[in-house]
Amino acid sequence: MDRKTALITGATSGIGRATAHEFSKQGINLVLCGRRQERLDTIQNALERQTNVQTLNFDVRDNQATKKAIASLGEDFKNIDILINNAGNAHGLDPIQSGSTDDWDAMMDINVKGLLYVSKAIIPQMTERKSGHIINIGSSAGKEVYPKGNVYCASKHAVLAITEGMRIDLNPFGIKVSAINPGLVETEFSQVRFKGDAIADSVYKGYKALQPEDIAEIIYFAISRPAHVNIADLLVFPTAQANSTTVKKEQ
Ligand code: NDP
Ligand code: 8X3
């Protein structure tokens, strides 16, 4: 049987890295993307025993670099069957009146425009082959706005709208489009959001947050459904979390 090929953005950490590990166990060929080459090399070395791995180093904010990197893929990796649009982060947690425009730019440029640039570079080959599966990693923040979440929530609401738009436009081509929307997942996410401030360490304290492997297993479940089944939109919280502002923590 032919092996499928998946391209994962944000594969150097958290959900993306865990998904790379999960897919490698399932014998899926991998194109792993991120900006930290050393990490890409480490993951490639670890997974190459199980599957074929190619790495691409580019910043999803840079449309030309994104196009060039994806166009550089050789014969063995260029046909992408599964696209995991995962690269992204929150930057800051501030009320709208005092938020940083640099943080706003980062979130809109990476989480929204970066996802579009990567998709634009890959979708034409999917429409040509009339097959493919795109999974966009949204967030519970794409379904509900919480205090000081303003622009991050906006970026993830945009991811959900783009996912729905993709599903409609790609429907004639038989391409599956899914949104996986996690709540709190214990990754480097909070280190990035709070720029290494001590508060980052407290975000996952006092309760059991989702682990990146939990999301990776769900992503694999979504991509391994029969051809006629598409998981369109999935919201997943840790048991301790009821919504963005309600988390049962031990004192
Ligand atoms: P991590 O910080 O652990 O991972 C983020 C990944 O995105 C890294 O691999 C990073 O790679 C990549 N990335 C960030 N900026 C860029 C960029 N400009 N160009 C290319 N790659 C970039 O966070 P998570 O694993 O938690 O986050 C993954 C996704 O899940 C994000 O979209 C996030 O919004 C979403 N999410 C996270 C939740 C959580 O609680 N953790 C909950 C809901 C959704 P590198 O720095 O090497 O480029
Ligand atoms: C990450 C979850 O609650 O920090 O998307 O927005 S949250």
Q: CATH classification of 5-247 is 3.40.50.720, yes or no?
A: yes
Query: DSSP state, 210?
Result: B
Residue 114's pLDDT is 99
- Nearest residue by C-alpha to atom 5 in ligand 2: 139
Q: How far is the CA of 11 from the centre of ligand 1 (A)?
A: 8
Helix (H) or strand (E) holding 233: strand 233-236
The residues annotated with a catalytic role in the active site are 152
- Nearest residue by C-alpha to atom 22 in ligand 1: 87
Ligand with smallest separation from the Cα of 159 = 1
pLDDT in tens, 22-71: 999 999 999 999 999 999 999 999 999 999 999 999 999 999 999 999 99
Length of the chain: 251
Residue 2's pLDDT is 79
Q: Which two tokens stand for residue 86?
A: 């995962």
- The phi, psi pair for 98, rounded to 5°, reads -125, 10
Band of the pLDDT at 196, cuts 50, 70, 90? confident
Measure the N-to-C terminal CA separation of the chain; round to a whole number of Å: 53
Q: How far is the CA of 180 from the centre of ligand 1 (A)?
A: 14
pLDDT in tens, 129-170: 999 999 999 999 999 999 999 999 999 999 999 999 999 999
Query: Span 116-128, mean pLDDT?
Result: 98
Atom number, ligand 1, closest to the C-alpha of residue 141: 43
Atom number, ligand 1, closest to the C-alpha of residue 110: 18
| Per-domain residue ranges of the chain | 5-247
- The answer to pTM > 0.85 is yes
Q: How far is the CA of 192 from the centre of ligand 1 (A)?
A: 9
pLDDT in tens, 74-116: 999 999 999 999 999 999 999 999 999 999 999 999 999 999 9
Is residue 1 predicted with pLDDT exceeding 80? Answer: no
